[in-house]
Every structure is written in C-alpha cells, then in structure tokens.
Structure 1
Amino acid sequence: MTSDQDRKQQAQARQGRMVALVMAGTVLVWMAAQWLGGELGLPARYAFLFDFAALAALLWALVVTYQIWRNSREN
C-alpha cells in the first residue's frame, strides 16, 4: 500500500500535468485563433474575446500552480 504522503504527491503531480496541458493548449489555441481571425478577416472584437479567454485560462493555471506550490511547502 502507498502511504498518505505518496498519494498527496501523486495528486500534486496530476495537478501539475493538468496545469501544463492547460497552459500549452491555451497558447496553441490562442495562436491558432489569432491566425484564423486574421485569415478570415474577423472583427477585432473577436481577437479581444480570444485574448480574454486565454488570459482567464492562464490566470486559472497560475492560481492552481500557486496552490500546488503552497501545498508542497506544507509537506
């Protein structure tokens, strides 16, 4: 059996992987949306919509990263 601390470390590792995927995915989708918006000639308001969505996702990732860091300092 794994100890309680091992389970916590595994949970933190899962959270870290999820944050990394969200960050990488956000940047890739944001870049694709910017390129596609320019190619299709979409109005600038759509670019701002994509920008704010990307900022929200990256802010979420920052908050979760801080929580992971804080939890690791307690152990």
Structure 2
Amino acid sequence: MAVTSDYSIDELKNEVRHLVDRGVIDRHQSICVLCEFIPPREWVCVECELERNDYTFKDHICDLLCKDEWQED
C-alpha cells in the first residue's frame, strides 16, 4: 500500500478498495489487518485518521467500504 504521511479517510478507503479488489485482503477481516501494508512509522497517522472518523481496529474492512455499488440482476 503506497501511502504518504498525509492521510485522508478517502485516500485510505481508495487504497483499501484496491486491496480488496486485488484479493489481497478480505472485506470481512478486521481493519487491523491494514497494518501489514503500512510501515509502522506511518501507522500512527492512519490510526489517528481512522479514530477521527469513528472506526476501530475491530471494525471490518467492509465498514470502510460501506458505499458498495450493487448491480441489478
């Protein structure tokens, strides 16, 4: 995950969507799995941004991707 030191929740959601679409992570895993893709020195910034937006590490990845678009059959 290529993330800069200046984080926004939208950028984070885009990166998470990319990881889910590639099958690297599963939407039912907890958000804490993201720490595997973010350098430890940058994780603090991600953690702060998640907390500012009322997410916890126990929340699921799908909580970040709540605006899924469903195709009609």
TM-score of the aligned structures, taking structure 1 as reference length: 0.29
The higher radius of gyration belongs to: 1
